[in-house]
Structure 1
Amino acid sequence: MPRRTPRNVLFDKLRTPRKRTGFLKAASVCVLIAGLLSPLTRAAAAESATASNDYCGGQCSDILPPGENGNATLAQILLNQAFGTQPSHAEDQLGPYANLATGYSGLTDAKINTFFNDASFGVPSDQVASTEKPAGRTDVTIVRDKKAGVPHITGTTRYGTEFGAGYAAAEDRLWLMDVFRHVGRGQLTTFAGGAAANQGLEQEFYRNAPYTEADLQAQIDNAVAGNGARGQQALADANAYLDGINSYIDASGSGRYFPGEYVLTGHKDAITNAGTIDHFKVTDLVALASVIGSLFGSGGGGEVNNALSLIAAQSKYGVEQGTKVWESFRERNDAEAALTVHDGESFPYASKPDAPKGEALPDAGSVTQEPLVYDRTGSAATASAKTTSTAAAKTTLSSARRGMSNALVVSGKYTAGGHPIAVFGPQTGYFAPQLLMLQEIQGPGISARGASFAGLSMYVELGRGQDYSWSATTSGQDIIDTYAVELCQDDYHYLYRGTCTAMDKVEQKNAWKPTTADGTAAGSYTMRVWRTKYGPVEYRASVGGKKVAYTTLRSSYLHEADSIIGFQMLNDPGYVKGPKDFQSAAQHINYTFNWFYADSQHTAYYNSGDNPVRAQGVDAEFPLWAQPAYEWQNWDPATNTADYTPASAHPNSVDQDYYISWNNKQAKDYTTASWGDGSVHRGNLLEDRVKKLVAAGGVTRTKLVQAMADAALADLRAEDVLPKLLKVINSSPVTDSTAADAVSKLQAWITAGAKRTETSAGSKTYANADAIRILDAWWPQLVKAEFEPGLGSDLYTAFTGNLPVDEAPSAGHGPTGSHAGSSFQYGWWSYVDKDIRAVLGESVQGGLAQQYCGGGSLSACRDILISTLKQAAGLTAAQVYPGDDLCSAGDQWCADSINQRTLGGIKHGKISWQNRPTFQQVVEYTSHR
């Protein structure tokens, strides 16, 4: 059994109950297992669930590992930790999901549901596992299927339908929902203990959304008031949903089948059943939404780091040339970037102004981050800064925080059946239990099946309707600006439109009791955020000698609840009848997402988010002075509302030949906040494959799944950059034997397809293992040797702060962390590609401002590449893959492997690496209403 450390489990204390419960003795455990082994048993039924009209013709499928059941009793947790046994449906989707990596080459349409679930509406009578009437209600039925245990909720009233959705959500994710309503309030450690990961997680989100209860309630009030009848319906749906959750809480408490984590964290007593699980309330939904919005739907916010790297570039090269160098690395509108809307249509947004106005760049060396944590006591006082910073949170949710979802959509003109085909889904990270849950909801005004975030599942958020499917990827366009507020009187007053104004202090005090599992003693601290009209304070600095605070203002701040209307529309068969209706619904979602649609006749795309209309002449890349001339147009600080760009200005399209998205650039002239949208991007792995399929025609579901799966195993560096590196090396005969051997292995890997695949299913050994090891070791060395001499160490370091050099699957040092699955979104692939092509004398559009490898000399560049290649080839597997709490040093497959990161008491096994969405749909509709 691997060692358990904070990076391996969110709640370290879940391994062992608190001493005061006194039930770790063998006899007591036996009693508990006998009494708590099973949750409420649902009565089996031989009846079939009633399905609404389904126009997919049996050609809709989906998958969501590890499994639908995310709740476990105390006995089930103890058995899992002692013997590895799994509760029913806790990981039954993990195996099929994992097996596609070795099974996709032999895939046929008939075999698709070997690796996916049948996502047809309803449940055939011979597949009904259970039927229940929650709380004895006669207006709603929850049927669960045998294969995956998915709840199929059918209501005869709107209230009953939503009540059932809440009840089913609590059955499957109550503990996780409770965790995240506390994360959203910055109260996780008080609720679940002071483990380092808990501290880091609550700190990360509290800094971005330091909301009071009044703020949470105001979001509900504003969303309802501003949306007429739909707003009123959303509130009624939310209240019915909450009633369902709370009904399950009451039933599970009296029946003693509540999640066992409540015992392990001291909220319930396993012997006496004393203690309570707090009912959910409507503001909890906003707290949950604020976490999800922060993770997936808020692009931008890097203006201070941008300013620091620009200053470093100007210091190195002078203002004029330094600015050119900075812009060439920023690649804000690169001509070679892969685009989702690739028909040439332009959607200008956040473009570089000719003469920027209002910039408030910091004085060199003056920037400090605003402290968040104060008044530490006990274990909080002795904890290192590293373990209680946001770095700790990266070990648990970073794979969700980064973008990672993908989409492949092909028009019916190019398919064998004449109907559009889509393979798409979000990458929400790999967790146990999963952040998302599957469900089908059928009731008055609602008809959908798919995935929703736990605790927000009153509507399906990604999935299918009666004759259409939709999905999303994180888009990352810039809806966040940084303002420099000039300080006055002291550090906690600032000039607001000429008046010295006090900042608002928002605090959250947390305290936790000692645990026996990880040695965490009792402790406490206070999180404190200073808020201004321009948002929370994030940094302090000076600008031209004036003391300032840098604040972060995002358009979705205080508006996380607004998107509920868009999701309501997507679930409404009376609203969405075609691509234009879909786009209209997506317009009501203020998070930054790319939305994709397919029905039997059409495909469509829309980029959502409240894109603020900025003052003319400002550059969204850098901090601005907090003055009226540089504010968003018609911005109202009391409500944080402003003018937003119209729907027509957002990248959008209907019936393009195909769409691909892997968090790449959306369209020509549309600037995202992401660095690295250049000539080599993860999106190219999809673009190259789908473009080839479309050119050949006759695309099938099988072929599109294979394209996705093939890209999911590709090493982007090896496929798109390595051939050019070897071209430089082979420009002269390679006489060094070590280098020649390495070149031979790398070339053989390219010839074999440049993928990270097992020698055979379950072998846990890679084909071309030496070549993979060499490239993993070589990439960071060659990037440093190629660029640092020309940039200088200060600028090189600053640029790596904007964009890490590497995100290989095993790169625990990268932005995603180890065992997270998603890879190759962040790296210097484009920079190396453009620089090497320039050295080779090849055509480069939007090249770097100067040549770096060997100063532009082919022979000098070749010497650098050979020298670093020899060093990399000499490193052992144990040096390249040093091991961690899950893997032994040198275990290459394990270093890449995906771990379902525990957010509760149940653990699951590792699976082989594949770069793939977590929830995924495969759809081809055969008819339309």
Structure 2
Amino acid sequence: MQRRTGRLRAAAAAALLALGATLVAPPPLAAAAPNSPTLDSARAGGAPAHDYCQGQCADILPPGATGNATLMQILGNKLFGTHPPHSTDQLAPYGALAGGYQNLTDGTLTDFFNDASFGVPQDQVGDVTAPRGDVTITRDKKTGVPHIKGTTRYGTEFGAGYAAGQDRLWLMDLFRHIGRGELTSFAGGAPANQGLEQQFFPQAPYTEQDLQKQVEAIRDHKGARGRQAMADAQAYVDGINAYREQSKNGRYFPGEYVLTGHIDAVTNAGEIAPFKLTDLIALASVVGGLFGNGGGGEVNSALALLSAQHKYGVRKGTEVWESFRERNDPEAVKTLHDGQRFPYAVKPAKAKGTALPDPGSVTPEPLVFDRTGAATAKGGKAPQDPVPAPKKYRKLQGLFKDGVLPEGSFNPTQHRGMSNALLVSGKHTASGHPVAVFGPQTGYFAPQLLMLQEIQGPGISARGASFAGVGMYVQLGRGQDYAWSATSAGQDITDTYAVDLCNPDGSKPTKDSTSYRYHGACIPMEKLERTNSWKPTIADPTAAGSYRMRVYRTKWGTVTHRATIKGRPVAYTALRSTYRHEADSIIGFQMLNDPSYVRGAATFKKAAQHIGYAFNWFYADSRDIAYYNSGLNPVRNPDVDPALPIAADPAYAWKGYDPATNTTDYTPPAQHPQSVDQDYYVSWNNKQAEDYDSAGFGNGTVHRANLLDDRVRALTKEGGVTRASLTRAMAEAAVTDLRGEDVLPEMLRVLRSKPIGDPALQTAVQQLEAWRKDGAQRHETTPGSHTYAHSDAVRLMDAWWPRMIVATFEPGLGGDLYQALTSNLAIDESPSAGHGPTGAHAGSAFQYGWWSYADKDLRSVLGEQVKGPLAERYCGNGKLSACRDTLLDTLRQAAAQTAEQVYPGDDNCKAGDQWCADAIIHRAVGGLTHATISWQNRPTYQQVVEFPAHR
């Protein structure tokens, strides 16, 4: 194998040299003279003096600022493990926090985070670029982060676009094609690419006219700020295109364009298509669908209800279903714990218009048709043999056997509902000023979906992170004397309607009919299609293939399922309030970047009110902390139950709903959860407030937010909180096994209710007890050892939990109901669970699982008081001795599992490697790959801030 690898490297290197050094010339840099007016005497980049953080703001975003790589740099990475400058230099300090947080002090924070002050110190100035006379992009030597300073508004935004092109041109191109459902035609037909576009196209199936209308709506109907936003967006696009043209002409464009066949490396023939404003809408639809959506899933919820009613009868079955739904669990951790109530999407006393399907009648709406060639692989037919790439490239194909996007590299379902926030009021800090540690958990990719930047210009003053391609403003970061961040909120802004089907000729409709009843008329569904085809490339030698995707759109949303209701054929549709409004939130981000607008907590909340996506927004300055939940929350008929499908009847429609514009009446700002100066706030995608439904299963007594809440509550009670102590609380939660901290104690109490006679089981229990006593953490014995402390206990828990859940619940629920409930909420999401919602090596863990159900059930069996218990007792049929037998039997099974069985290995890890099974691997969405780091469950981009002063 080693000899073969050596031959491959030699052949690839020879092929690389044949392509010519002109392919990889670095981009030209315009270095400013020492006395240039673009360089401030104190800090470079023209940074304004108004930085009130005084060195107490820090941030981090792995793997690095640079996300583009020439073909030579990509091949160097594949062959020799080298990396372009600044493409990976934030990865090591980020990864080191998992082993170094215990001794963290305010003075050592910069060992793990960047200095997030405005500007660049003179002795740290690296590259300086002046793409126009009215803007300068200064990059620091340490991280290469772009600091954009403009003297005009247009120039500032042009510079932001130019810097985005420098750092993320390939990624932005990928995502504008993902947003249009055209990834395979652009990047090849690899299975990962097919899966990705098939995930996104049904969420936002737009025509070009749809995209253009969204641009015009912001420009023409959002007042002066809307006009300014579109002018800023156009300048941003102009900057991207300027870099695009220069990199193409100068032959330093991203090498993926060669690998995917868009540009010939030798002749330079080919094109990088110009960017346009509608591309930003397509990009925004991807970002919003990933992180700012909420609701939906009502069909699966209905199937679980029907299954419960079938087993228990209607009354008891509904009670059982409600107890698993946990709509308003009294034990759930809440971001607002001060007694405030914000009723939204609540269950009515007697629901009307509920549209449950006939049992066994539901079928998902098909998406893919007319597969040919390599595309038939998923359809059960053998793919054609790969077609050879051009001869000059064949020696390179072995380096890209998995394509530019390897299988499983990106799955949009992995990232719904992530990110965390910890904020403490100045009343409880050592300095008397608020402290915040917060950021979005957007997954780990190479290059990263977010990019760091500082933007300073007329009406804009901010540093932080923006999603690549929509970075005309900082979306999460800091201003002159304040900082803000967000977590995915997930409240219900998507409803499912049951639309009656019909045939225009009056014949009897079937489930396959493509017309529907609307206000008494039979009208055709709108058919939206994409036909994608591809040819083999260097990076993807998959045989040529094609297929067609089709989505039907109605005035009640897009069709997701078909069924019958009392024998009558219907289509179930998903109606999302942010559909056709993907970029409207640009107004809120513009306000957050405007130092003349945000002056304190009150104006921060007003800015957040202009963001339509479902997010929890957090704010800190030198005086206050604040919270606001954003989103286009539709005003519903109070008699409908939004947790279940609703009849498509005007009586049950959103109030004021206009299908032509997808607008409706929205709940006023006062009805959104919000607060200023609560003693502390925590959020990890948990329940916002009492009576505020988060649109899904899993907000019960045990939630990963408990890992934050318990620690921050204790810190606040003790007082004297510092940036370091709050970061330590976050970092400790990030390496803690939620099951071990919050459910294992009940499991052990059940086991210890009688003496354990089996010596092997006694040893296993003692190992678990020692692990729990030591914090139930998953961390290395010493940094870099790649061996876990309490490794046997961790292995036991990973093997035991799924067996224990099945044995506890399935006998009582029955197989059908158990499966229906697991389709709404997976039973486990440990870091090593590649089958879980986030997939393997994704960092994020313990958001989705049956920990609340197990906790409530075990406490009930133990005879403890449980608020909001399950409707039935399941473990051992509610008997302690029988429950103990269940736990012992499943623990015995778990103890018999070898490490190789618990951690079976994958393309990245050998079987039995526990550390590697958990570890974070940056998923390639381009040609570069990066080093593996130890698991930690924390935001991808993270800020640590404490402002000592205010304007």
Partner SS state of residue 119, structure 2: coil
Match of 1:29 in 2: 16
Pick one of 762, 779, 788 that aligns with 1:757.
779
Deviation for aligned residue 1:198: 0.3
Pick one of 130, 135, 142 that aligns with 1:133.
130
Report whether the alignment pairs 1:466 with 2:480: yes
In structure 1, distance between residues paired with 2:75 and 2:856: 54
Cα distance change of structure 1 residues 44 and 392 upon mapping to structure 2, 3 Å threshold:
closer
Q: Contact 2:452–2:466 at 8 Å: present in 1 too? A: yes
In structure 1, distance between residues paired with 2:942 and 2:685: 16
Instruction: Give the TM-score taking structure 1 as reference length.
Output: 0.96
Q: Contact 1:171–1:248 at 8 Å: present in 2 too? A: yes
Pick one of 723, 741, 765 that aligns with 1:719.
741
Match of 2:398 in 1: none
Match of 2:209 in 1: 214
Cα distance change of structure 1 residues 515 and 131 upon mapping to structure 2, 3 Å threshold:
closer
Cα distance change of structure 1 residues 385 and 795 upon mapping to structure 2, 3 Å threshold:
farther
Deviation for aligned residue 1:32: 4.0
Match of 2:101 in 1: 104
Deviation for aligned residue 1:395: 5.0
In structure 2, distance between residues paired with 1:519 and 1:35: 26
Pick one of 634, 638, 656 that aligns with 1:612.
634
Cα distance change of structure 1 residues 705 and 308 upon mapping to structure 2, 3 Å threshold:
same
The AA in structure 1 aligned to 2:681 is Y
Partner SS state of residue 884, structure 1: coil
The AA in structure 2 aligned to 1:424 is F
Cα distance change of structure 1 residues 887 and 399 upon mapping to structure 2, 3 Å threshold:
farther
In structure 2, distance between residues paired with 1:232 and 1:402: 31
In structure 2, distance between residues paired with 1:290 and 1:382: 29
Report whether the alignment pairs 1:681 with 2:681: no
Pick one of 316, 321, 330 that aligns with 2:316.
321
Report whether the alignment pairs 1:406 with 2:420: yes
Cα distance change of structure 1 residues 884 and 120 upon mapping to structure 2, 3 Å threshold:
same
Deviation for aligned residue 1:649: 0.5
Match of 1:5 in 2: none
Pick one of 235, 244, 267 that aligns with 1:249.
244
In structure 2, distance between residues paired with 1:386 and 1:743: 50
Match of 2:819 in 1: 797
Pick one of 691, 706, 712 that aligns with 1:690.
712
Report whether the alignment pairs 1:59 with 2:56: yes
In structure 2, distance between residues paired with 1:605 and 1:674: 22
The AA in structure 2 aligned to 1:30 is L
Which residues in structure 2 correspond to 1:373-392 (within 5 Å)? 373-384=368-379
Q: Contact 1:296–1:401 at 8 Å: present in 2 too? A: yes
- Give the length in aligned residue pairs: 907
Q: Contact 1:821–1:914 at 8 Å: present in 2 too? A: yes
Report whether the alignment pairs 1:156 with 2:151: yes
Q: Contact 2:409–2:925 at 8 Å: present in 1 too? A: no
Deviation for aligned residue 1:561: 1.3
Q: Contact 1:160–1:240 at 8 Å: present in 2 too? A: yes
Which residues in structure 2 correspond to 1:480-629 (within 5 Å)? 480-489=494-503, 490=509, 491-515=513-537, 519-629=541-651
Deviation for aligned residue 1:318: 0.2
The AA in structure 2 aligned to 1:118 is D
In structure 2, distance between residues paired with 1:386 and 1:769: 44
In structure 2, distance between residues paired with 1:94 and 1:469: 23
Partner SS state of residue 782, structure 1: helix
Match of 2:348 in 1: 353
The AA in structure 1 aligned to 2:661 is T
1:344-383 CA distance string (max 9 Å, x none): 1000001110110001100000000111111111111233
Partner SS state of residue 321, structure 1: helix
Report whether the alignment pairs 1:857 with 2:852: no
Deviation for aligned residue 1:25: 6.0
In structure 1, distance between residues paired with 2:869 and 2:373: 54
Partner SS state of residue 396, structure 1: coil
Deviation for aligned residue 1:753: 1.0
Pick one of 822, 827, 846 that aligns with 1:824.
846
1:129-171 CA distance string (max 9 Å, x none): 021111xx21101000011100000000000000000000000
In structure 2, distance between residues paired with 1:470 and 1:39: 36
Which residues in structure 2 correspond to 1:298-317 (within 5 Å)? 298-317=293-312
The AA in structure 2 aligned to 1:113 is T
In structure 1, distance between residues paired with 2:808 and 2:707: 25
Cα distance change of structure 1 residues 177 and 124 upon mapping to structure 2, 3 Å threshold:
same
Greater shift, 217-226 or 856-865, is seen at 217-226
Report whether the alignment pairs 1:893 with 2:915: yes
Deviation for aligned residue 1:36: 3.6
In structure 2, distance between residues paired with 1:516 and 1:308: 46
Match of 2:200 in 1: 205
Greater shift, 219-228 or 95-104, is seen at 219-228
Report whether the alignment pairs 1:910 with 2:932: yes
Structure 1 unaligned segments of length 5 or more: list them.
3-15, 18-22
The AA in structure 1 aligned to 2:928 is I
Report whether the alignment pairs 1:814 with 2:836: yes
Deviation for aligned residue 1:30: 2.0
The AA in structure 2 aligned to 1:839 is V
**RMSD across aligned positions (CA):** 1.7
In structure 2, distance between residues paired with 1:210 and 1:520: 26
Report whether the alignment pairs 1:455 with 2:469: yes
Structure 2 unaligned segments of length 5 or more: list them.
3-7, 384-404, 504-508
Report whether the alignment pairs 1:743 with 2:756: no
Greater shift, 396-405 or 433-442, is seen at 396-405
Q: Contact 1:400–1:428 at 8 Å: present in 2 too? A: no
Greater shift, 224-233 or 435-444, is seen at 224-233
1:187-215 CA distance string (max 9 Å, x none): 00000000001001001110111000000
Q: Contact 2:373–2:543 at 8 Å: present in 1 too? A: yes
Cα distance change of structure 1 residues 25 and 439 upon mapping to structure 2, 3 Å threshold:
closer
In structure 2, distance between residues paired with 1:209 and 1:322: 35
Identity %: 66
Match of 1:68 in 2: 65
Match of 1:20 in 2: none
The AA in structure 1 aligned to 2:17 is C
In structure 2, distance between residues paired with 1:393 and 1:359: 40
Deviation for aligned residue 1:658: 0.3
Match of 1:181 in 2: 176
Match of 1:332 in 2: 327
1:636-678 CA distance string (max 9 Å, x none): 0100100111111010000110000000000011011121100
Partner SS state of residue 560, structure 1: coil
Deviation for aligned residue 1:392: 10
Cα distance change of structure 1 residues 756 and 387 upon mapping to structure 2, 3 Å threshold:
farther
Query: Where in structure 1 do 4 or more consecutive aligned residues deviate above 4 Å?
Result: 23-26, 43-47, 384-388, 391-395, 516-519
Instruction: Give the TM-score taking structure 2 as reference length.
Output: 0.94
Q: Contact 2:630–2:672 at 8 Å: present in 1 too? A: yes
Match of 2:188 in 1: 193
1:580-636 CA distance string (max 9 Å, x none): 101011010000000000000011000000000001200001111111001000100
Partner SS state of residue 315, structure 2: helix
In structure 1, distance between residues paired with 2:14 and 2:326: 65
Match of 1:259 in 2: 254
Q: Contact 1:420–1:925 at 8 Å: present in 2 too? A: yes
In structure 2, distance between residues paired with 1:43 and 1:583: 41
Partner SS state of residue 577, structure 1: coil
Match of 1:42 in 2: 29
Pick one of 224, 232, 235 that aligns with 1:237.
232
Partner SS state of residue 196, structure 2: helix
1:504-549 CA distance string (max 9 Å, x none): 1111110000246554100001111111001111101001110000
Partner SS state of residue 639, structure 2: coil
Q: Contact 2:619–2:627 at 8 Å: present in 1 too? A: yes
In structure 1, distance between residues paired with 2:12 and 2:721: 61
The AA in structure 2 aligned to 1:923 is V
1:755-781 CA distance string (max 9 Å, x none): 001010100000000000000000000
Q: Contact 1:398–1:817 at 8 Å: present in 2 too? A: no
In structure 2, distance between residues paired with 1:373 and 1:194: 14
